[in-house]
Amino acid sequence: MFEVRYTDLAARIGRLETPHGAVETPAFVPVVHPVKQTIAPQFLKKMGFDLVITNAYITLKQYGDEARKRGIHDIIGFDGAVMTDSGGYQVLEYGSVEVEPADMAQFEKDIKSDIPIPLDKPTGYGLPYELAKEYVGTTLANCDTTLRTVGKTDAIWIGPVQGAEHFDLVEHSARALDDMGFQMMALGSPVELMEAYEFATLARMIAHAKKAIPAKPVHLFGAGHPLTIPLAIALGCDTFDSASYMLYAKDDRYMHANGTVRLGELAYLPCQCAVCASYTASELRSLDRDRRMVEVARHNLHVLKAEVDATKQAIMDGRLWEYVMQKARAHPKLMEAVQLFANDEFGYLAEGTPAFKEKAIFFFDAIDQHRPEARRYRKLVSEFASRKKSLVLFPEGEVHPFYSTRGFREIAKKFPDAQIATYNPFLGIIPAEISDVFPASHNVTARAERDVADYPTFVESLTGFVANNGFSDIMAVADPFMKQAIAEAKLKARVEDYSDHVIERL
């Protein structure tokens, strides 16, 4: 049903098999109205969207038995995979819907939805804990009723995970749905979080859900802003839906790689999609409202698809961390979210990060000391046992591995009985013997003045390495960063500083 092909961080390029064909993930899932489609679903298929989502509750109200006879694919005119929402959005907006969970489940089965969602009770954002807990309980009861109603089916039934900012409820909800046997999960209530730019809370919600359901495919409701896509994918979301492409177009909002802008504010169109190649900014603004809305919506779809494809390529290249950090700099609230990657709560990102990458990884800022590759290497060093009594520390150079350099040979000649190690602010201490292990041998570090206070992992690596190996003598060619670290680690009295000597004179 779900086959994973490539991974990086918690992101997965996978293949989701449905009754109406395979869907490659990660995938943006455009929202299609079941009655009136401003953008034809077949146009979406030609663009490369193999999965769309529509509203089964509205379909039931508008078509009834006709939908049961024709099926949802004929109703909306789409021959690919169709996901159906059962009315949870209407429940969130209006408090309730005029249908019972069992009846809704049977209807979704009857219309042959490929990926149906049970009728849930969304918690939204800002709900008091006890009321949120009650809503989670209602959703779980509805989901149990749904599975009992539909029995065995070829469809991929989604378990809607609720709880929002109440993370223990998110974990409880996910585990309960997993125990029920749902094949795929969906994170509910993120729209209000994203509208409030509470990306840090959204990241934590995803992390707690993934803690409970690490393997199953995960859908994220309402994620339709190009800025949020790389973050959501990196955290482990496989599909995500939104009507943003059309909603923004109705408001003359033009998407671009780092956000949106009012069409009236553009002198130029910073895009070469089919729409933007056909108009100037002035010509696009001068179209009548309906035509302009359609054209901007088509452009917005191109931007969303391009963002998903760019993120997929970053996964393939082993550059997803770099790409997410690059995108996060487009908004302070996104940077606030990625700074959380330093916390143990996000340790699961290491599970999908390859042990080796063909391309060198990049180190720019302090947050990069927490990337999984660096964490993994520091752990390896923490288990390194040296039989030497003396330690020589030398700053990392441009050539890797360290033991192949002239500097290493000079030090080894001068101190034949010493443990020789280089050091890097992000990787910590690098013993010469394992300086060819990824990523010590495959990294490019930006040169900059750094404050050791921003690099606690380096101090931990230094003190741990010294303590674990019991060196009696420590000699260091100490750059300003290492001098700070020696002081911070309270090793100054034990270290003989050779920083004023060139290597040939050691």
Provide the annotated active-site residues: 85
Tell me what percent of the chain is helix, strand and coil, each rounded to the nearest 5: 50, 20, 35
- CA nearest to 316, candidates 308, 305, 327, 304: 308
464 with 382: CB under 8 angstroms?
yes
DSSP characters over 47-98: HT--EEEEEHHHHHHHHTHHHHHH-HHHHHT--SEEEEE-SHHHHHHHS--S
439: preceding bond cis by omega (within 30 degrees)? yes
User: Could you report how far apart the first and last alpha carbons of the chain are, in Å?
Assistant: 62
Side chain identity, residue 418? A
Count of Cβ atoms closer than 10 Å to residue 387 Cβ: 7
The per-residue DSSP string of 202-246 comes to: HHHHHHHHHHH-SSS-EEETT---TTHHHHHHHHT--EEEESHHH
Q: Three-class SS of residue 15?
A: strand
Residue with tokens 């995970």: 161
Evaluate whether 152 touches 190 at the Cβ level (below 8 Å): no
